[in-house]
Amino acid sequence: MSPTARPRRSGPAAPVRIVHLGLGSFFRAHQAWYTDRASDAAGWGIAAFTGRRPDAAVALSAQDGLYTLVTRGAEADEFAVVHSVSRAYPGTDHEAWLDHLGSPDVRVVTLTITEAGYLGDAVGGLDTADPRVAADIAALRADARAPVISAPARLVAGLLARRSRDAGPLTLVPCDNVARVGSVLAAVVRDLAAAVDAGLATWMDEQIRVATTMVDRITPRPAEADRLAVLAATGVDDRCPVVTEPFTQWVLAGEFPGGRPAWESAGAMFSDDVTPFEDRKLWLLNGAHSLLAYAGPARGHSTVAEAVADPVCRAWLGEWWDACEPYLALPAAEVAAYRAALLERFANPRIRHELSQIAADGSRKIPVRILPVLRRERERGRLPNAAVTALAAWVSHLREAGTPVTDVDASRLASLATAGRLADAVSRVLAALDPALADDAELVRAVRVRAAGVP
């Protein structure tokens, strides 16, 4: 290999038996890495599809699906080439999507489509009022092979192709930071299937299983400096490296009648109940992330590591974790160890995790990360200070006090947050999250007072 060669395979790629939707950084640091490390990796290649832009598929295809995973500890980097992505496709290649989903070789579909990609409604079903969903349903009713955009519709299109080829059982494995993600995915796919084809649900009951998961590995958006670091250390000009932290965890529950990689041989854990791990992770890690993402910029911080170096932010984290702890169904010693490890993970000075990346889509993240604990505390008559801080900082963020607002619901939230007095904005924004929050006078008052103190 010449000093600046792109990564290239020296042998054949593993046969495609997994399809992934959402070819982003996290998938490459997590599910693709576990598959690469599994003892039977040679039998389980992945066909990975981007969700929106084609860039990652184009760049990865130019290097045979190979990329460098940089595991960035507080002291040093480790570099490893991941081989499990056998094919990479732009999401627009719908024929390839249908072909793979319709193939009897494929047994598993993994997903990282972001919280917003599930398109759920407030009561746990599919948001059929969303124009993208309505358009996809109409398209699939007219033609089962019509190109569709939303993730639930893509899955249903793939399942229709699979049924038409009698291709056998398949397990869907959602890997996003969504509470009870397996149930959420099962519901939106079931609702979309029912809207398209009355007989599909019965076939799905027999052939399709939906696993649920807790996924954990802090993986910031890669930067140009990361490409240069790989080049300097390995001599390879990798155009799509991913940087991640040493810590990683994957807890899964579900049935795999068509088989799966031996992910446990790479460290994944199979459990009957993912819930305790999921609550611990979504509340302690992701809740803390969102708290810092909205409240940290007002104290001059741009990254998680900068924020946790600030004693005021660390005190908020302590308050938040104290509020969460009574509701976690795990031994106290385990929670204490997780908290201590989190502080170290957040403080890793060599991981540049931008608060602005974490701040995106707060309307979908706060209900999962902050509200479950806030509601439990309110039922007991308590008002957790850190949750008030997070909500007040989010309102201020929406009023453009911090990082730029990126949210699937940005235009509605911006009008709710910016029109008129701050006090009214607080009520409107809380009502948009959950009307019951806006009816809680003590909470509203506290958030107003805190928001008024945020620049």
Ligand X SMILES: O=P(O)(O)OC[C@@H](O)[C@@H](O)[C@H](O)[C@H](O)CO
Residues at the contact surface with ligand NAD, assessed by CB under 6 A: 21-27, 50-52, 112-117, 151, 176-177, 215, 217-219
Stretch that binds ligand X, among 188-196, 200-208, 210-218, 391-399 (CB under 6 A): 210-218
The set of residues, in sequence order, having a beta carbon less than 8 Å from that of 454 and lying 6+ positions away, is 295, 298, 392, 393, 396, 401
Stretch that binds ligand X, among 11-19, 284-292, 408-416, 445-453 (CB under 6 A): 284-292
Alpha helices, H only, 143-280: 151-164, 181-196, 200-207, 224-234, 275-279
Long-range CB contacts (< 8 A, 24+ apart) of 133-140? 133/192, 136/192, 137/192, 137/195, 137/196, 140/196, 140/197
Instruction: Report what 280 binds from ligand NAD, ligand X, none; CB cut-off 5-8 Å by kind.
Output: none
Instruction: Report what 25 binds from ligand X, ligand NAD, none; CB cut-off 5-8 Å by kind.
Output: ligand NAD
Per-residue x/- track, 312-351, ligand X (CB under 6 A): ----------------------------------------
Instruction: Report what 286 binds from ligand NAD, ligand X, none; CB cut-off 5-8 Å by kind.
Output: ligand X
Instruction: Report what 32 binds from ligand X, ligand NAD, none; CB cut-off 5-8 Å by kind.
Output: none
Stretch that binds ligand X, among 98-106, 191-199, 283-291, 323-331 (CB under 6 A): 283-291
* Nearest alpha carbon to residue 7 among 77, 73, 83: 83
In the complex, residue closest to ligand X by CB? 289
Please check whether residue 145 is in contact with residue 157, taking contact to mean a CB–CB distance below 8 angstroms.
yes
Q: Environment class of residue 80 by beta-carbon count within 10 Å: exposed (0-12), middle (13-18) or buried (19+)?
A: middle
The set of residues, in sequence order, having a beta carbon less than 8 Å from that of 341 and lying 6+ positions away, is 247
Structural tokens at position 246: 């040493």
Helix (H) or strand (E) holding 77: strand 77-82
* Nearest alpha carbon to residue 281 among 302, 251, 242, 326: 251
**Among 217, 339, 378, 450, interactor with ligand X by CB under 6 A:** 217
Q: Environment class of residue 331 by beta-carbon count within 10 Å: exposed (0-12), middle (13-18) or buried (19+)?
A: exposed
**Among 17, 209, 289, 448, interactor with ligand X by CB under 6 A:** 289
Structural tokens at position 288: 């803390």
Instruction: Report what 358 binds from ligand NAD, ligand X, none; CB cut-off 5-8 Å by kind.
Output: ligand X
Strands across the sheet with 67-72, in order? Answer: 77-82, 67-72, 242-244
- 303 is an interface residue for ligand X by CB under 6 A: no
- 68 is an interface residue for ligand X by CB under 6 A: no
Shortest distance (Å) from residue 374 CB to ligand X: 18
Instruction: Report what 23 binds from ligand X, ligand NAD, none; CB cut-off 5-8 Å by kind.
Output: ligand NAD
Subset of residues 162 to 191 that bind ligand X, contact rule: CB under 6 A: 177
**Among 13, 170, 358, 413, interactor with ligand X by CB under 6 A:** 358
The set of residues, in sequence order, having a beta carbon less than 8 Å from that of 448 and lying 6+ positions away, is 392, 422, 423, 426
Instruction: Report what 52 binds from ligand NAD, ligand X, none; CB cut-off 5-8 Å by kind.
Output: ligand NAD
Stretch that binds ligand X, among 140-148, 216-224, 336-344, 415-423 (CB under 6 A): 216-224
Shortest distance (Å) from residue 43 CB to ligand NAD: 25
Instruction: Report what 173 binds from ligand NAD, ligand X, none; CB cut-off 5-8 Å by kind.
Output: none
How big is the site for ligand X, counted in residues (CB under 6 A)? 9
* Nearest alpha carbon to residue 261 among 30, 23, 42: 42
Instruction: Report what 50 binds from ligand NAD, ligand X, none; CB cut-off 5-8 Å by kind.
Output: ligand NAD
Please check whether residue 395 is in contact with residue 424, taking contact to mean a CB–CB distance below 8 angstroms.
no
- Coil, helix or strand for 110? strand
Shortest distance (Å) from residue 455 CB to ligand NAD: 29
Per-residue x/- track, 115-144, ligand X (CB under 6 A): x-----------------------------
Subset of residues 82 to 121 that bind ligand X, contact rule: CB under 6 A: 115
- 218 is an interface residue for ligand X by CB under 6 A: yes
Query: Which residue type sits at 35?
Result: T
Find residue 242's DSSP bridge partners. Answer: 69
Shortest distance (Å) from residue 202 CB to ligand NAD: 27
Shortest distance (Å) from residue 231 CB to ligand X: 26
Helix (H) or strand (E) holding 389: helix 385-398
Shortest distance (Å) from residue 162 CB to ligand X: 29
Alpha helices, H only, 235-331: 275-279, 288-295, 304-308, 311-324
**Among 68, 86, 110, 286, interactor with ligand X by CB under 6 A:** 286
Distances in Å between the alpha carbon of 281 and those of 95, 186, 217, 284, 367?
37, 22, 11, 5, 14
- In the complex, which residues of this chain contact ligand X (CB under 6 A)? 115, 177, 216-218, 285-286, 289, 358
